[in-house]
Structure formats: structure tokens, C-alpha cells
Chains A and B, each alone.
Chain A
């Protein structure tokens, strides 16, 4: 261990705060993004599993049924006729609490109606393990509208014991009274009880309008012969629509929904780390280049190559440790924002979760920090290696290095071909797996990046005569200089190319997606006014509108016809599905079909007769073939029934997919008279605003959302934009880091060439001409990067659209690559490169030629 070397390193790093800061920044950014996204994912998962835990408790089985719910007499039979002692009734639903809740609009409360007398074996928090505390629960049991919340929640809503709270349920506002508090015993319990509002079964039935019904019955069945016998007796008395399920299958089906989404996020965050790695590579390289003479001297003095290698690596390790530390702190800070974004999206698209605070898991932080240090070390190895190759003073000249680079060029290009080939193969042959898809994309991008040196040389050679005509000697010099310093310029060009192509590729994908969705909205949202219950969460709670509403509205003047929709979550042999039953006299647009057994009209007729349509992502998820004979088995109130699948439709509302059936068929199989929403078509010549006015008047006093078509479209697109907000942030980050990387690459390059440039200045090159030379060089590099980014970005967009998106969500998107994207690409690259050339030009401009000449 050489203390001199250590002291040298420390002082060197200290004396060059900007460079050291750049390295620390590179690591910190990468680590911060990885940690922020990871924490967000972990928090969301934790919130989900805790809420599941708090709601499921120790139940081993659950009796569930179709959307109509279970008859509560079933529970009485289980208790009185079968003598079951471990059974608990549950009535639940989501309500929106408070006028202006403390955090975030539209936060949903999970109303859980339980029977305190049955709770003890299942959930510990209401009654504990002792006797049911009847004395404390008198108001809870006897008085309608009474609820219990955790202490933290009560504080949040500003409630004391006995205070009222306004809640919004489907179809109205109700008032509840807080009659008791739950004091959680530990932090996890506190989080688990977040968002939960307990009430008696009776109260929940009244508030949610589910009189005579239960949502499920929890059971604890011993794992033994007696247990089996109990199950048999229970199954014997279950009515047609009810069935037994284990809680694990339910919750895992739900949590799997977000798997693709979280994986996409994680991949994006890794991209940030990779870009950070590039920044580290550049800064370490720069610091090696700066110290070549010193390294040479040390080698003369007898410092071994290993010691040099260790010195560089340790510097990188030390700075990256610092960077990781900062990154951890930054990541936690960023995580606050990210978790809000992520849970917002999950709420919008998947299911309701409440995350009020970030779950700061030490393992996540440690993982991020280790990742950062490891990545930094990996990135520091090539420059450290280069440092060891610095010959003791005098022996090796720069030109030899460059000759080596040119000689290696064919190998690098071949490597690029192999890498992109391997990536392409992986993408094509990995079936439906998402992870190999991401690996394939990375391989393809890196492969294309490996083409950069060869293409740079080729383009520069091609451009030289033209440049000579436009810019004279300087022009020719610029292009030759780029080739001469290829080992430096190629790396900068490659990095810029990758960053720009990623940006362009993702932009094209997002805009194609948006255009596809807009187009889809055009031919699916055909009605003029849409009526539904207020509330904007994704979990349908199977309640609904007044069933006579459709008839009422049809009477309103100006209304031509009304479509009726019923959206519920139904059980099937492939897990819970989003089922929408439609009654419509308006013909469907034929564009909506991705595949249909027959023509558009005929298909709809078949649906009315008892077939179903499934959406694209549903078909993808469950591998449903696009040919006649496919079918789907749903658990209806009449027992399991198999429906033929008539066709596959485009639907971008949910990546879980949707199943469509005729309302008549639905009512046949499900005892559910409810209505979720209505679509109103106006008569010819009817003024839209007047119609909306009319409707509002007619339906005044009912808690309904009446929205014209345009508003609904806007909302849908808003959700879309929100979902992709994260990618926008990451794209910006990519450009920023790439820019800094290019800057440091150029600095390093100009430093090495300062002697040569000094000679030029001595010969008579003015400062202005030198500026022009440097900016011309960097501009050329930017141009090459931009030009190469075009095909790379397009390839990337294609892979994202047709492979990644498809495998993640099952949607088909029409790729639309408007030429403006490519113009953008080249422009960004050139501008970034030129701006990056300004600082080195400034530095060199200030340096006196003689000084430059004297530098060895």
C-alpha cells in the first residue's frame, strides 16, 4: 500500500473539483434514479401486500361469487346448519372520503364491513385475541353509519372521536361518524391500516347499498381430514354462483397485473445507470489523460502497472462510494415524487392502493449503492487499463495508439455486427418473455454503437472534399482530425448517438402510441354524452346507477338513443376478468375488430346471441388464438358457463384486457340488474350544449357525472400522458448526462491536442480560426452522431412498439415515424456537440501558444 500514491490521488481529486464532482454526479444520478424507481416499486408492492394482509388476515379459503354478491343467508346457514365456528362475513367497497382530503384528490377509502363476533380468528386488529370488547363496540354495532379508523387516518382527516365525515359512494354522499380508533402496534400495522375504514356488516350493507348481500365469506379450514369433510359439506350447500377460492390465488393474480409495468420502469432506471456509467468512463479517462506524464514518471521510478491500475480503480471506488451515498439520499428525495407518480398510474390503470409514504427499505438502498459502486468500477476498468499502458516517459507515442485503433476497427465493427445479430436473434426467438426482450434491445443498441467508429471514419472521408470546398483548409483539417483522434472521437460520437437515438426511439414510440389511442378513441367513443357515477378509480366496486335511468333519459327531448353498459369484475377459469356488458342499437364500427369470426354486423349478432368479444391484450395474455373455436369459461351466478369467442377487439383502456358481452346475455347469467354507465346519442340537428343542459336539469339532484364526448376523450388522453410522464423525465436525463459525457470527452480530446493546436496558433492561426476549427470538428461529430441516431432510433422505436410493448401489455400500436423526429435527432446532436465544444475552445483560446508548445 503506497501512501504516496494515496496522497497523490487525494490531492489530485481535490485540486480538480469539477472533474471529481462530475464523477460523483454521474454515480449519484444513476444510483438516485435506480433507487427512486426501486423504492417506488417496493412501496407500491408493500402497500398492496399490507392492504391484502390487513383485509385477508388468516383466512385459508374464501367463498366468493359473481358481481351480484353472495346472499347473506348463506352465512347464516354455515353458522346455524353446519355449525362452522371459523367463518367471517365481509361487505366491502371503495368510497371517496372527505371534501378536501389532506393528501391528493380522489384518494379512495376501503370500507370494510365486518362482524366483530366473527373476526377474532381472522383479523387481529379489531377484537384482538381476547373477548370481544362489546362495551366499546356498542355504538359501532347499534348505530347506523358508524365507523372505525386508525389513529393516523383520523388525524389526516382532522377527526376526533364522535366527529362526522362526508363520504362519496356510488350514487350519493353519506355521512359517517367515527366512534372508535385503532392504535396500530407497529409501523407495518400502521401502514396496513392506512386507507381502511371499518364498519359493522349492517352499516356497510346500508352505505354501499348491498342489503341482503355479502361480498365474501372468509373461512379457516384445518388442513386435515376433518377439514376436507368440512369443505365437502360447505360445497354441498353453495348456491350456483358461489365458489371457493384461496386468498393467495386472488392476490397473486392482482399483483401480477403490475409486473410488466414495474419491469418497464426498472429497465428505464437501469438505462440511467448505464448512462451514468458512460459519464464515469469519460471522467476517469480524462483524469488519466491529464496525468499521462505523471504516470509515466511513476512508472520510471518503479511503480508497477498493478499499482497504477489499483490507484485509478481506488480513485473511482472512493468517488463512486461518495456518489452512491449522495445518490441514496437523492434517490430517497426523488422517490417521494416517483412514488406518487407510480401509485397514481397504478391507481389509474390497475387497482386501488394507498401509499402515503415511501417505504424506505434498507435493502433497496444497499442494492442501489452497491449497483452504483459496481457499475462505476466496471466503467473505470478500461481507463485504468489504459493508464497501465502509459509507457514510462518517452517510449510510446500517441500515434501508435491511434494506429492501433484504426487497426482494430474491423474487429470492433465485426463485434458490432455480432452483437446486434445476437440481440436481434434474442428478440425474435424469445417468444413472449419480457426480460430477454430488454436484454435484446440493449444488445442491439450497443451493437449499433459499435458501428460508430467505422461509420465515422467513412463519413469523414466522404465529407473531406466537400468540406474543403466550403471551409477551405480548416474544413479538411476538421474531418481529418476527427479520424486521427478516433479513439476519443468515436467514443463521444457513440455516446451521443446512443442518447439521441434512445430519446428519439422512445419519443416515436410514445407518439405512435398516442396517435393510435387517439384514433381508437375516435371510432369507439361515438356517443355524444356519457353518464356515469363520479369517482375516478380503476376498481369497479360493482355498484351502479339507478336501473330506470336509461328509460328516463330516453324520454329527454333531443335524445335519439341510449346505450347501456354494465362493467363488473367477474371470475373465470383464467382468473378475475373485467367484464363489460353492452346494450346498444348503434352499429359498431368495423375498425374496432382486430379479428372477427364473421363480418362486423354478423359478429355483433352472434354476441347478442351469447358469444363474447375479448380485447387484444386479453387475447395476448391468455394466448387466445385468432380463429373460430376459441372460448372462455366464466363463473356466472348459474355456475360455470363456456362462451364462444366471436372476435378480438382493439382496446387501450386496460392492459389486463376486457371481455365484452351482450347485456341481455349478461342478465341471463348474472343476477345483477345494475348499470355502470350510459351513452347518449343526440338526434340529428340537436345542439350538443343544449342537450347537456337538458340532461343536467332532468337529472339534477342525482350524483352523476354527465360528460360530453370531448371531455371524456380529454380525460383518457390525460391518463395516457400521466402514465408516460416518467419516461419524459428519463429521456431528459439521458440527454443531460450524454451531454456532460460528450463535454468531458471533448475536453479530454482537446487537452491531448493542445500541443498540436499550440503549434497551429504559433504558425498564425487566429483565435477565431481556432474556434472555427474546434466547433467544426465537434459539429461534424454531432452530425455523424445525429445521422447514425436516425436509423438506430427508428430501429429502437420499432422494437419498442412491436416487441416490448406487445409483450408487456399485448397492444398493437401503429408505428408512425414523422420525419420531424429525425430532423430533431440531427439537430439535437449537432447542437449538443457544438455547445460541448464551447468550453474547450474557451480554455484553449486563453492559453498562450508558447505554453502549449512547451507542454510535453
Chain B
């Protein structure tokens, strides 16, 4: 019975293949990335923190270090550097400290060395004028377990391997390095290294702004910070970009500022100028812009003479005219791009021009910090410096 045998074979084969096929269909579960949204109330605000509402006596070297009871603090290094053959670089290395909660919180009986209410953030930027490139990186860490922190004696501010450290008195070592210079979370090619390694030596005495360092920025006495600068710092060292290492020299500027709620209500940002002139003088001026377009009357600055004397500048002492604009392709913010700064009392008619238009940092917050060159209308003076523009891409009201 060939017919029946054939059918039987077919059925048996079918059955067996069904059984076998069923077995083979076992597939390991596909693992995916675990994704979730964090749901929590946001806790920001500045109640409970100490405020700078009057001049505070500063003692050094301790006060070079942090002031944890105040909400905000930074150590701000900027500078203009050049190689032997005239290749120009600008750099910025800023260490920010932020207190999450006022001091005096509940602690458990055996506190871990990882516990802290201080958070550190650092910005590292390089402007490569010749190469027409701008690099900006951010790091974030807790101020505990030795991962990030600051101290006055000996002076050291660090976040992981970025640091500003006094090796010897008067000599500060700045170091910052970024290995995969891609955006956060992505891995760029490992050859993309940007590194800064500088030795700083301040030539002048520290300049205290405002009233012995009590620098007001708004009507409320608490809208202020303690603010001092080293305005003329000889700098030498190296900058590495990719596989190229450049030996550079130049001049840097350091700001140390701390306080709580610098800006008063209604203030949306500021323009800040730090200019080093060829006659040995420096100018620092900030104007605070208000929501209605006006300038806050507490905008102020300082002119530091060649011998270090600090001359205060009030808002009426300085006229700033915007000569050009630049719109950021990244954030859409419309920034001023060239200024005329007139300080008649000191016969200064300065034109400030950024070395490159795009020196915008799009990091935790968006602002513009650019190396700039200075010329004086009289032609006798030149200079260089840094301009900082905040509040153009997003309002800074309530953030500082």
C-alpha cells in the first residue's frame, strides 16, 4: 500500500517537524535598556543660606578656600595666551561650588564620607583663534570623598583631575584635561584630547571690588557677593589640542566670588568685562540688565592702577555702546558682538572686539565667555581680556 505509506510518512514527518520546530522556537528574552523617568519635587531656592549683606572681613589664606554656608561660589580663571609664533588662544577654567541645603542638616550616627550638601561644577573652555575652534566642557561632582572640593591653606580647588593648586606660595598650577571631547554621554574618538597645563604667577596685589570686597548687584543689601580678583597674572605652560601640544605664554585674570542670590528680582543677566591694558592698568566692569531693558543702578566696576590702587567705577562712570550683534546658531540667543566702552574720567575710549564670535558655552547653563582684544581710540593703548555675557539665551533671574 504505497499510497498509505507515503501519507503516513508525511504525517509523521509533519508531526516530528512540528515538535522539533516548537522546540526551536524557544528564544531568549530580548534585553533592552532600562528606561525610566525621575519623578520628584524640585528643591531650589535660597532660604536659610547666609547672605552677604555687608562687608565681611576676609582672612587669608583661609578665605581663598570655600564658604559653605553661602549658596554660590566660584573660582574663575580666564586668560589670553600665545605661542612663540603668534598663535593666539583664550582659556577659561572655572570651578563653581553650590550648596544644596543650608548648613546644619540632620546626620545619621555614622556618617559616610560620601555625604555632603556641596556640589561642585567646573567649566573648561579653550578658544583656538587660528584654528577657528572653540571647545567647552563641563564636569559635575559631589564635594565629598575627595572627589571635588576646595581649601585655602594650602590653596587647592579641584574637581576630579581638574585643579587650581598653589604648589608654592604665589604660584598656582592650573590643569584641566578632557579625553573624549565629544558631547556628554557620547564617546568621541580617544585622540580628541584637549588639555590645559599652566603655571600662574600674580604680578599685582589682590584687588577687592566694591566696598572692601562687598560688591552689590541689586537694591537689596543681600543681593551682593564678596568679590576680589587677581587682575594681572603672568602665565606660561602648554595647551594640547588633539595630538598637537603648544607652548604658550600670556596673561590671566582670576576672580573669586561668593554669596547668595546675587541678582535681585527683575534682573535677567549681566555683561562683565575684564580688560588688561598695555599701560599696566586693568578695568573690570559689570552691568546688570533688567527685564525692562534698563541697566541696574548697582552695576559697577573697578579700575586698577598700575601700582594696584583700586578705583571704583559707578554705573554713571562708564558708557557702553553695542557696535555689533551675533546670533548663536546653537541656542538662538542674540548676543552683542562688539562694544565701545567709554570711561571719560580716565580718558579711556576702548573698543572691545572678541577674537571669535562663537565662544558660547552650552552646558549646565548657557552663556557667552569670550577672549577679546582691546583698542583705544587714541591709538596709544591696546589690551586684551575676557567678556562674559549671561542672560541672552535664557534668563538668569533667580539662578545666581
Contact present between A and B (CB < 8 A): yes
Q: Which of B25, B35, B146 contacts A186 (CB 8 A)?
A: B35
Taking CB atoms and an 8 Å cut-off, the chain B residues in 153-185 that contact chain A are 158, 160-161, 177, 179-180, 184-185
Most buried by A among B18, B116, B180: B18
B41 at the interface (CB under 8 A from A): yes
Pair A161/B34 contact, Cβ less than 8 Å: no
Most buried by B among A144, A184, A205, A361: A144
B23 at the interface (CB under 8 A from A): yes
**Residues of B with C-beta under 8 A to A310:** 7
A72 at the interface (CB under 8 A from B): yes
Closest to A371 in B: B22
**Residues of A with C-beta under 8 A to B32:** 53, 186, 188-189
Inter-chain CA distance A366–B3, complex, in Å, is 32
**Residues of B with C-beta under 8 A to A140:** 40
Closest to B178 in A: A85
Q: Which of A85, A136, A211, A227 contacts B38 (CB 8 A)?
A: A136
B56 at the interface (CB under 8 A from A): no
A100 at the interface (CB under 8 A from B): no
B69 at the interface (CB under 8 A from A): no
Pair A193/B101 contact, Cβ less than 8 Å: no
A-B contact count (CB 8 A): 246
**Residues of A with C-beta under 8 A to B7:** 306, 309-310
B110 at the interface (CB under 8 A from A): yes
Closest to A368 in B: B22
B205 at the interface (CB under 8 A from A): no
> B320 → chain A, closest Cβ, in Å?
33
A294 at the interface (CB under 8 A from B): no
**Residues of B with C-beta under 8 A to A126:** 36, 38
Taking CB atoms and an 8 Å cut-off, the chain B residues in 1-54 that contact chain A are 1, 3-4, 7-8, 11-12, 14-19, 21-23, 25-29, 31-44
Pair A224/B190 contact, Cβ less than 8 Å: yes
Pair B15/A144 contact, Cβ less than 8 Å: no
Pair A121/B179 contact, Cβ less than 8 Å: no
**Residues of A with C-beta under 8 A to B114:** 72, 115, 200-202, 205
**Residues of A with C-beta under 8 A to B115:** 142, 144, 200, 202, 206
Q: Which of A38, A139, A150 contacts B43 (CB 8 A)?
A: A139
Pair A45/B177 contact, Cβ less than 8 Å: no
Inter-chain CA distance A91–B48, complex, in Å, is 32
| Given A81-B161, A144-B106, A182-B37, A226 contacting B190 (CB threshold 8 A) | yes
| Given A144-B107, A182-B39, A192-B34, A73 contacting B146 (CB threshold 8 A) | yes
Inter-chain CA distance A115–B117, complex, in Å, is 14
B242 at the interface (CB under 8 A from A): no
Most buried by B among A161, A182, A374: A374
Pair B31/A370 contact, Cβ less than 8 Å: no
Pair B113/A211 contact, Cβ less than 8 Å: yes
Pair A145/B39 contact, Cβ less than 8 Å: no
Taking CB atoms and an 8 Å cut-off, the chain A residues in 260-316 that contact chain B are 304-306, 309-310, 313
Inter-chain CA distance A126–B190, complex, in Å, is 27
Pair B100/A142 contact, Cβ less than 8 Å: yes
**Residues of B with C-beta under 8 A to A388:** 1, 4
Closest to A47 in B: B29
Inter-chain CA distance A363–B27, complex, in Å, is 7
B147 at the interface (CB under 8 A from A): yes
Most buried by A among B28, B38, B44: B38
> B93 → chain A, closest Cβ, in Å?
15
| Given A121-B185, A309-B7, A381 contacting B34 (CB threshold 8 A) | no
Closest to B160 in A: A79
**Residues of B with C-beta under 8 A to A369:** 22
Most buried by A among B4, B107, B139: B4
Contact with B along A352-364 (1 / 0, CB 8 A): 0000000101011
B187 at the interface (CB under 8 A from A): yes
A643 at the interface (CB under 8 A from B): no
Closest to B39 in A: A181
A143 at the interface (CB under 8 A from B): yes
**Residues of B with C-beta under 8 A to A385:** 4, 8
Taking CB atoms and an 8 Å cut-off, the chain A residues in 150-194 that contact chain B are 150-151, 161, 179-186, 188-189, 192-193
Pair B40/A53 contact, Cβ less than 8 Å: no
**Residues of A with C-beta under 8 A to B190:** 222, 224-227
A137 at the interface (CB under 8 A from B): yes
Inter-chain CA distance A144–B107, complex, in Å, is 7
| Given A201-B114, A375-B19, A80 contacting B160 (CB threshold 8 A) | yes
A135 at the interface (CB under 8 A from B): yes
Closest to A209 in B: B110
Pair A120/B160 contact, Cβ less than 8 Å: no
Contact with B along A432-468 (1 / 0, CB 8 A): 0000000000000000000000000000000000000
B347 at the interface (CB under 8 A from A): no
**Residues of A with C-beta under 8 A to B147:** 76, 79-80
Inter-chain CA distance A133–B100, complex, in Å, is 12
**Residues of B with C-beta under 8 A to A377:** 11, 14-15, 18
Pair A381/B12 contact, Cβ less than 8 Å: yes
B343 at the interface (CB under 8 A from A): no
| Given A144-B107, A309-B8, A125 contacting B35 (CB threshold 8 A) | yes
Pair A183/B37 contact, Cβ less than 8 Å: yes
Query: What band does the interface of chain B fall in when counting residues whose beta carbon is under 8 Å from A?
Result: 35 or more
B395 at the interface (CB under 8 A from A): no
Closest to A388 in B: B4
Inter-chain CA distance A374–B12, complex, in Å, is 9
| Given A305-B3, A361-B29, A378 contacting B12 (CB threshold 8 A) | yes
Most buried by A among B139, B146, B158: B146
Pair B146/A80 contact, Cβ less than 8 Å: yes
A687 at the interface (CB under 8 A from B): no
A554 at the interface (CB under 8 A from B): no
Closest to A50 in B: B31
| Given A81-B161, A367-B23, A388-B4, A49 contacting B31 (CB threshold 8 A) | yes
| Given A121-B185, A141-B117, A370 contacting B38 (CB threshold 8 A) | no
A110 at the interface (CB under 8 A from B): no
Pair B100/A129 contact, Cβ less than 8 Å: no
Pair B42/A135 contact, Cβ less than 8 Å: yes
B119 at the interface (CB under 8 A from A): yes
Pair A80/B40 contact, Cβ less than 8 Å: no
Pair A135/B44 contact, Cβ less than 8 Å: yes
**Residues of B with C-beta under 8 A to A136:** 38, 40-43
B342 at the interface (CB under 8 A from A): no
A574 at the interface (CB under 8 A from B): no
**Residues of A with C-beta under 8 A to B108:** 144-145, 206
Closest to B138 in A: A131
Q: Which of B40, B44, B145 contacts A179 (CB 8 A)?
A: B40
Pair A206/B112 contact, Cβ less than 8 Å: yes
Pair A182/B19 contact, Cβ less than 8 Å: no
**Residues of B with C-beta under 8 A to A141:** 100, 116-117, 119, 142
Closest to B141 in A: A117
> A440 → chain B, closest Cβ, in Å?
19
> A681 → chain B, closest Cβ, in Å?
34
Inter-chain CA distance A388–B7, complex, in Å, is 11
| Given A135-B42, A136-B42, A304-B3, A378 contacting B16 (CB threshold 8 A) | yes
A652 at the interface (CB under 8 A from B): no
Closest to A136 in B: B40
Q: Which of B22, B33, B43, B184 contacts A138 (CB 8 A)?
A: B43
Inter-chain CA distance A132–B23, complex, in Å, is 46
A557 at the interface (CB under 8 A from B): no
B111 at the interface (CB under 8 A from A): yes
B345 at the interface (CB under 8 A from A): no
Inter-chain CA distance A769–B34, complex, in Å, is 74
**Residues of B with C-beta under 8 A to A222:** 180, 187, 190
Q: List 12 A-B contacts (CB under 8 A).
A: A120-B185, A123-B34, A134-B100, A151-B39, A186-B32, A186-B35, A188-B34, A206-B112, A227-B190, A309-B11, A371-B19, A374-B15
List 7 extra interface pairs beyond A182-B39, A183-B37, CB under 8 A.
Answer: A80-B158, A135-B42, A189-B32, A309-B11, A370-B19, A381-B8, A385-B8
- Closest A-B pairs by Cβ, 4 of them: A374-B18, A180-B40, A370-B22, A226-B190
